[in-house]
Amino acid sequence: MLELDGLRRQFGEVRALDGCTFRVEPGRMVGFLGPNGSGKTTAMRSIFGLLRLDSGEVRWQGAPVTAEVTRRFGYMPESRGLYPKMKVRDQVEYFASLHGANRADARAQADHWLQRLGLEDRVDSTVETLSHGNQQRVQLAVSLAFRSDLLVLDEPFSGLDPIAVATMGEVIRDEAARGAAVLFSSHQLDLVEDLCDDVVIIDHGRVVLAGRLDEVRAASPFRYVEVSGPAALGSWATRVAGAEVMRRRNTTLRVRVPATTDPAVVLETVRAEGGVEGFRFEPPTLSDLFMEAVR
Amino acid sequence: MGPLKPVWLVARREVIARLRTKAYRLSTLALVALAVGGVAAVRVLPSFFEDEPPRIGLAPTAAVIRESLQQAATAFGEEIVLSEFTSVQAAQAALAAGDLDAVLVSPDSLLFQEEADPTVQALVGQAAYLATLPERAAAVGITLEEARALIAPPTVETSLVSPPEAGDEAVDDGDRAIAALTTILLLMALTFYGQWVLIGVIEEKSTRVVEVLLATLAPWQLLVGKVLGILLLAVAQIAASVTALVVGLLVVQDIEIPALAATSVAMGVTWLVLGLLLYNFLYAAIGSTVNRPDEASSASFPLMVPLMAGYLGGLIFIPDHPDAPASRVLSLFPFTAPLTMPSRIASGGGSAIEVAIAMALTVVTIGLVIWAGSRIYTGAILRTGKVGLLAAFRGGREVG
């Protein structure tokens, strides 16, 4: 298990990390969310000792992370980095061997992952000749190529087409199923919601929400009512205690109500307004949680 | 995996990646060609510059002064080729055919084709003078010995106003050439391979691959691996070049190798390795502070100062003054020693103890440079934007 414990780091006037604390358990996919500049990348870099912390500690299996330990971690940094003139297979092999694989194993791993990611035809191409999406696949292969105990992926899906996103998502899920702890950041909240088991939301360098996705959704003090049809346009929301209109689009209205609200009562109030084509009463989506947490 | 395994992996990648480049193959080829060409040039060029000795044909009446002519030539340190002809006509025909440069018709008659050769004129004059001396002595009634005593020049005592100081012993031309050549080659090697390190480090930084590397490696492992890899490549190229040179010399055989050449080559290679270690770590440290390849040359300018000082010293000053105080200082100062000590040794200067001290100082400095260079590298490699060396050094504890 990876533990980030009270991480603090100041860059000049900016508090990049301000007591950031959370954990990533083996076999779990953890979605790491936060607005731009909230400290996600700084936190991820600190896991690899890529920057000095003002205070706090990163632990793996209860002990401080050392160079020997990070060798068993896979990392896909936000700023992608590969040798442009090195061949794809050589590249993956090289990083696998840096992580301790022997030559035959490094080769086997490289071939396995490149095939899995659909790059088997490009193994002898240099990286600079690949498209952006394919370079990103190579980058993922590099971080996967040594059966990591922990995968840290900074925005792995950014800039990918839906098919590539699906392939990558599947590959990462399989790694978690194998027992790896996976921490990945993304701004694509629907995607994260589909993929992750746990969620950590960070803002201004501190964690504002963390836990199992289903639990944090259930634990939210709010529920969301979505109504479509003529009734949606009425003033029913003003008659529900604590209700706040979140979004109005065509004939659909999304309203946030306190979690204690009785859905039957809400439905009654709406129906009194007119015809109802659709009615949903649900815990917050990840997107709702995110907005609640960082606003 | 021990801490040195990743160093070796980094070095191996560096070697393999560069072996595949056209630049490496071409530069190796160029070095070998240079060595072979050098041997060929030494073999062939002198014949273009050395004058053939004048060929003088002797007509029957001139044969009497043959011996005197030979003596005169020896006395003046000139070489001449003499041949006797049975008739003046035969000698003239040989002159017209270009087989002779001059015909001595009689002791007092010299014939040239188009242009008179003053050397031959002087030699013949002297020979005639010597040949007729007994005759002329007899004419004035003195013995030959008396005549010789009469014409012997008085002894002139020669002294120097500013005699050369100790340490300015005359240096053989061959040794001087070796000293200069060694210095030139060392400077080329240090700047050439230094650029490889510099550009390589900047590439890793600008492509951001360094962040992926440093997630697994300690900065010193990456730094040392890179420098060692390039050192291996450099040694391989130099070895290829030296082998070509030795093979060339063995094939040609008749080139006189200056006595100090073998020592010079051994010393040159030793100092090359020391110099590469010293400067490549510096180049790497500097490379880590810049972001784009086009900033490389201005950033590495400070290194050119000691390099040029060593180069000019080793090329111009030291060959003539191998043991002068300035030469001693330059060859003991670690940052100029790799360029100047080989020059001193080739010029016949530098005692074994001085060489040992210079090497020890350089090795200690390499240690310091690895330490400081790693720290600068560590402090700068993950930062974007221009990073000052001092700021990088202070921030050097950031990582790993």
Q: What is the CA radius of gyration of chain A?
A: 23
Q: Considering only CA atoms, which of A162, A193, A154 is closest in space to residue A288?
A: A193
- How many CA atoms within 13 Å lie on the side-chain side of A165? 14
Tokens representing residue A132 in the block: 């952006």
Distance CA B82, CA B103 (A): 10
- Hey, CA dihedral for B95, B100, B104, B110, is it positive or negative? positive
Q: Which range is most confident: A93-107, B49-63, B80-94?
A: A93-107
Residue of A nearest to B209 (CA): A81
- By the 8 A CB rule, do B295 and B384 touch? no
Q: Residue B384: is its pLDDT beyond 80?
A: no
Sequence-ordered list of residues with C-beta below 8 angstroms from that of A108, at least 6 positions apart, any chain:
none
> Which contiguous run of DSSP H or E holds residue B126?
helix B118-131
Q: Which chain B residues touch A51 with a CB distance below 8 Å?
A: 382, 398-399
- What pLDDT does B92 receive? 87
- Report the CATH superfamily, name and number, of domain A2-211: P-loop containing nucleotide triphosphate hydrolases (3.40.50.300)
Residue entry with tokens 């012997």: B152
Q: Considering only CA atoms, which of A47, A1, A39 is closest in space to residue A20?
A: A39
- What pLDDT does A83 receive? 93
- The share of chain A scoring above pLDDT 90, in percent, equals 70
- Report the CATH superfamily, name and number, of domain B55-151: Periplasmic binding protein-like II (3.40.190.10)
Mean pLDDT of B93-102: 87
- What pLDDT does B283 receive? 93
- What pLDDT does B167 receive? 47
- Hey, CA dihedral for A10, A16, A22, A24, is it positive or negative? negative
| Comparison of pLDDT for B382 and A193, the residue scoring more | A193
Distance CA B362, CA B374 (A): 18
* A81/B215 Cβ within 8 A: no
Mean pLDDT of A240-250: 87
Mutate to test the interface with A, among B209, B217, B222, B382 (most CBs of A within 10 A): B209
Q: How many Cβ atoms sit within 10 Å of the Cβ of residue A295?
A: 7
> Which contiguous run of DSSP H or E holds residue B280?
helix B261-287
Of chain A, the end-to-end C-alpha distance in Å amounts to: 30
Distance of CA A102 to the CA centre of its chain: 32
Q: Which chain A residues touch B380 with a CB distance below 8 Å?
A: none
Mutate to test the interface with A, among B207, B221, B222, B399 (most CBs of A within 10 A): B207
The shortest CB-CB distance from B215 to any of A48, A82, A84 is to: A48
Distance CA B32, CA B38 (A): 10
- What pLDDT does B144 receive? 81
Q: Considering only CA atoms, which of A24, A122, A11, A115 is closest in space to residue A74?
A: A24
* A82/B209 Cβ within 8 A: yes
- What confidence tens digit (pLDDT) does each residue in B300-348 have? 888 999 999 999 998 888 888 888 899 999 999 999 999 999 888 888 8
* A98/B217 Cβ within 8 A: yes
Given CATH 3.30.70.250, say whether it is the number of domain A220-294. yes
- What confidence tens digit (pLDDT) does each residue in B220-262 have? 899 999 999 999 999 898 888 888 888 887 777 666 665 556 7
Could you tell me where in chain B the CATH 3.40.190.10 domains are found? 55-151
Distance CA B358, CA B350 (A): 10
- The share of chain A scoring above pLDDT 70, in percent, equals 100
Instruction: Indicate the DSSP class of residue A285.
Output: P
* A73/B211 Cβ within 8 A: no
- What pLDDT does B46 receive? 61
Pairs of residues, one from chain A and one from chain B, whose beta carbons lie less than 8 Å apart: 69
Given its phi and psi angles, is residue A121 left (phi above 0), alpha (psi -120 to 50 degrees) or beta? Answer: alpha
* B398/A80 Cβ within 8 A: no
* A67/B208 Cβ within 8 A: no
Q: How confident is the model at residue A177 (pLDDT cuts 50, 70, 90)?
A: very high
The shortest CB-CB distance from A70 to any of B9, B10, B216 is to: B216
Residue of B nearest to A128 (CA): B207
* Every domain of chain A and the residues it spans: 2-211, 220-294
- Mean pLDDT lowest for which of A116-130, B14-28, B70-84? B70-84
Residue of A nearest to B200 (CA): A83
| Comparison of pLDDT for A159 and A88, the residue scoring more | A88
Q: List C-alpha distances in Å: B216 to A113, A145, B303.
A: 19, 13, 31
Q: Residue B99: is its pLDDT beyond 90?
A: no
Q: How far is B231 from chain A (nearest CA, A)?
A: 20
Q: How confident is the model at residue B171 (pLDDT cuts 50, 70, 90)?
A: low
Q: How confident is the model at residue B118 (pLDDT cuts 50, 70, 90)?
A: confident
Helices marked H in chain A: 40-47, 67-70, 88-98, 103-116, 132-144, 162-178, 189-195, 213-219, 263-271, 286-294
* A82/B207 Cβ within 8 A: yes
- What pLDDT does B109 receive? 86
- What pLDDT does B374 receive? 84
ipTM over 0.85: yes
- Mean pLDDT lowest for which of A38-42, A258-262, B48-52, B275-279? B48-52
- By the 8 A CB rule, do B108 and B168 touch? no
- Hey, CA dihedral for B17, B376, B191, B262, is it positive or negative? negative
